[in-house]
Amino acid sequence: MPENLIPPPQHYPNDVICTVDTVLLTLADDGLCVALLKREREPYKGVAALPGGYIHADKDIDGYGAALRVLKTKTGIDVPYLEQLAAFTGAARDPRGWSVSLTYYALVPHAVITAAGHPGVKLVGVDRLHTLPFDHGVIVAAAVERLRSKSQYSSLPCFLVGELFTLPQLQRVYEALMGEALNKVSFRRKMAELDVLEAAEGQMDTSSPSRPAQLYRLRPEFRDRLGLLKRGL
Amino acid sequence: MPENLIPPPQHYPNDVICTVDTVLLTLADDGLCVALLKREREPYKGVAALPGGYIHADKDIDGYGAALRVLKTKTGIDVPYLEQLAAFTGAARDPRGWSVSLTYYALVPHAVITAAGHPGVKLVGVDRLHTLPFDHGVIVAAAVERLRSKSQYSSLPCFLVGELFTLPQLQRVYEALMGEALNKVSFRRKMAELDVLEAAEGQMDTSSPSRPAQLYRLRPEFRDRLGLLKRGL
Q: What ipTM was estimated for this complex?
A: 0.86
Please check whether residues A113 and A176 belong to one and the same domain.
no
Hey, are the CB atoms on B100 and A92 less than 8 Å from each other?
no
Please check whether residues B43 and B158 belong to one and the same domain.
no
Calculate the average pLDDT of chain A.
90
Query: Residue A4: is its pLDDT beyond 80?
Result: no
- Smallest CA–CA distance, residue A184 to chain B, in Å, is 20
Is B6 inside a domain boundary? no
Q: What is the pLDDT of residue A153?
A: 87
Q: What is the pLDDT of residue B9?
A: 40
Please check whether residues A38 and A97 belong to one and the same domain.
yes
Please check whether residues A138 and A167 belong to one and the same domain.
no
Is B12 inside a domain boundary? no
- Smallest CA–CA distance, residue A3 to chain B, in Å, is 14
Q: What is the pLDDT of residue B152?
A: 84
Burial (CB count within 10 angstroms: exposed 0-12, middle 13-18, buried 19+), residue B139: buried
Please check whether residues B32 and B73 belong to one and the same domain.
yes
Q: What is the pLDDT of residue B180?
A: 86
Residues of B with CB under 8 A from a CB of A: 8-9, 11-18, 54-58, 60-65, 84, 86-87, 89-92, 96-98, 100, 102, 231-232
Hey, are the CB atoms on A57 and B232 less than 8 Å from each other?
no
Please check whether residues B67 and B107 belong to one and the same domain.
yes
Look at residue A146 and give its three-state secondary structure: helix
Cα(B219)–Cα(A94) distance, rounded to whole angstroms?
36
Is A62 inside a domain boundary? yes
DSSP 8-state assignment for residue A95 = T
Please check whether residues B124 and B174 belong to one and the same domain.
no
Hey, are the CB atoms on B16 and A15 less than 8 Å from each other?
no
- How confident is the model over A101-150, as pLDDT tens digits? 999 999 999 999 999 999 999 999 998 898 999 999 999 999 999 998 88
Cα(A60)–Cα(B82) distance, rounded to whole angstroms?
30
Q: What is the pLDDT of residue B123?
A: 95
Residue B140: how many other CB atoms lie within 10 Å: 23
Hey, are the CB atoms on B91 and A57 less than 8 Å from each other?
yes
Total structural domains within chain A? 2
Nearest neighbour of A18 by CB, restricted to B9, B16, B96: B16
Domain boundary among A117, A134, A150: A150
Domain boundary among B86, B118, B150: B150
Domain boundary among B100, B119, B150: B150
Q: Which of B89, B139, B190 to mutate to test the interface with A (most CBs of A within 10 A)?
A: B89
Hey, are the CB atoms on A55 and B14 less than 8 Å from each other?
yes
Please check whether residues A81 and A179 belong to one and the same domain.
no
CB B171 within 8 A of CB B184: yes
Query: Residue A11: is its pLDDT beyond 80?
Result: no
Hey, are the CB atoms on B12 and A54 less than 8 Å from each other?
yes
Query: Residue A13: is its pLDDT beyond 60?
Result: no
- Smallest CA–CA distance, residue B16 to chain A, in Å, is 7
Look at residue A88 and give its three-state secondary structure: strand
Pairing of strands A122-125, A197-205: unpaired
What range does the domain containing B206 cover?
153-222
Q: What is the pLDDT of residue B14?
A: 66
Is B87 inside a domain boundary? yes
Which residues in chain A have their CB less than 8 angstroms from residue B97's CB? 13, 57
In Å, how far from its chain's centre is CA B163?
Answer: 17
- Type of residue numbered B118: H
Please check whether residues B61 and B170 belong to one and the same domain.
no
Rounded to the nearest 10 degrees, the angle between the axes of helix B167-178 and helix B184-194 is 100
Q: Per residue, what are the HEC states of A29-69?
A: CCEEEEEEEECCCCCCCCCEECCEEECCCCCCCCHHHHHHH
CATH number at residue A160: 1.10.10.10
Q: What is the pLDDT of residue A180?
A: 87
Please give the share of chain A, as a percent, with pLDDT higher than 70.
94
CB B51 within 8 A of CB B22: yes
- Cα-only R_g, chain B: 21
CATH number at residue B73: 3.90.79.10
Nearest CA in chain A to B92: A61
**Ranges of residues in chain B whose predicted pLDDT is under 70:** 1-14
- How confident is the model over A28-74, as pLDDT tens digits? 887 899 999 999 999 999 999 999 999 999 999 999 999 999 999 99
Is B117 inside a domain boundary? yes
Please check whether residues A28 and A132 belong to one and the same domain.
yes
Please check whether residues A65 and A90 belong to one and the same domain.
yes
Is B229 inside a domain boundary? no
Hey, are the CB atoms on B87 and A64 less than 8 Å from each other?
no
Q: Which of A89, A96, A178, A230 to mutate to test the interface with B (most CBs of B within 10 A)?
A: A89
CA separation (Å) from A171 to A79, A127, A167, B54? Answer: 22, 22, 6, 47
Is B1 inside a domain boundary? no
Q: What is the pLDDT of residue B136?
A: 98
Query: Residue A8: is its pLDDT beyond 60?
Result: no
Please check whether residues A186 and A139 belong to one and the same domain.
no
- Smallest CA–CA distance, residue B204 to chain A, in Å, is 36
Is A48 inside a domain boundary? yes
Concatenated DSSP letters of chain B: --GGGSPPPP-SS---EEEEEEEEEEEETTEEEEEEEE-SSSSSTT-EE--EEE--TTT-SSHHHHHHHHHHHHH-PPPS--EEEEEEEESSS-TTSSEEEEEEEEE--HHHHHHH--TT-EEEETTS----STTHHHHHHHHHHHHHHHHTTBSGGGGGS-SSB-HHHHHHHHHHHHTS---HHHHHHHHHHHT-EEEEEEEEE--SSSS-EEEEEE-GGGTTS--B-SS--
Nearest neighbour of A16 by CB, restricted to B9, B18, B86: B18
Cα(A217)–Cα(B83) distance, rounded to whole angstroms?
36
Q: What is the pLDDT of residue A57?
A: 92
Query: Residue A1: is its pLDDT beyond 60?
Result: no
What's the mean pLDDT in A165-194? 93
